[in-house]
Structure 1
């Protein structure tokens, strides 16, 4: 099944492009029009979180977004390349505003998307979200 993959440098201005592409591919995949705003918002939050993690940890690798059309659902995976030890939730002595924003982003995503899975590994994190598609 077709997959669109975006790679972009960890710059906030690229998040808007990821949102627009995600909404266009979701529409083409058959996601209900009423849900497209949720798709845009969730992708924006996930990408903003990845950009923040990359920037606050000095990671030069691009943020990866995969848009996957499956048989009865449309999935989006947003991948950062910040090791889980670097993106841990323990604030440092100066405070951890990037971590707080990341946790807030995850809370927003959880409120928007019924099917969401967050995985953190030694090499980075993946937020996988999916929505049902409307069959004609």
Structure 2
């Protein structure tokens, strides 16, 4: 009998266009719902993924580029969902720690804050783990753990309880 893989993998390749971000949101929402995430967690996941996709759509490619693709990979583990959003466009500088990501200057009036620039801050705030790799394009890997009573699930504890 073949051994089950460590994670189920779902891959999407889409044009890097704003009208396809909704397709990614719906797909990720369905996967998270199937896994048993709470409604609020699903909304957080959808927002974080939409921010990562929107960043790629808006910043990765020169609009004259012919092949503007966005790749989204979801890895479904028993205790977590890992989502990778990747583009092959131009990279960007990213040498700040998550604690250094701030949405606005602390003294700024909210009416004076320009739209944009909140993407990475939101992604870090909404997901449990975030990794950004910049090479030939940008890959944002986001992880959300399934929780039981506010604590990340531990399969070993579940297995011991069943024994």
Task: Give the alignment partner of residue 69 of structure 2, picking from 62, 72, 88.
Answer: 62
Residue deviations 1:81-135, cap 9 Å, x none? 1243xx347xxxxxxxxxx94x4311121121121111111x1111111111256
Higher relative contact order (CA 8 A, sep 6+): 1
* Separation of aligned partners in 2, 1:111 and 1:18: 20
Secondary structure, aligned partner of 1:71: coil
Secondary structure, aligned partner of 1:82: coil
Gaps of 5+ in 2: 1-6, 95-114, 148-152, 159-163
* Separation of aligned partners in 2, 1:65 and 1:22: 10
- Find the counterpart in structure 2 of residue 35 from structure 1: 41
Task: Give the alignment partner of residue 138 of structure 2, picking from 113, 125, 134.
Answer: 125
Q: Which TM-score applies when normalising by structure 2?
A: 0.66
- Find the counterpart in structure 2 of residue 115 from structure 1: 129
Residue deviations 1:56-88, cap 9 Å, x none? 46442310001110131111000011243xx34
- Kindly report the root-mean-square deviation, in angstroms, between the aligned alpha carbons of the 2 structures: 2.2
* Separation of aligned partners in 2, 1:120 and 1:64: 15
* Separation of aligned partners in 2, 1:12 and 1:124: 18
* Separation of aligned partners in 2, 1:30 and 1:43: 18
Which moved further from structure 2: 63-72 or 30-39? 30-39
Gaps of 5+ in 1: 90-99
Secondary structure, aligned partner of 1:40: helix
Secondary structure, aligned partner of 2:17: coil
* Separation of aligned partners in 1, 2:128 and 2:9: 21
User: What are the equivalent positions in structure 2 for 1:86-97 lying under 5 Å apart?
Assistant: 87-88=92-93
Higher share of residues assigned helix: 1
Q: Determine if contact 1:31/1:131 at 8 Å carries over to the other structure.
A: no
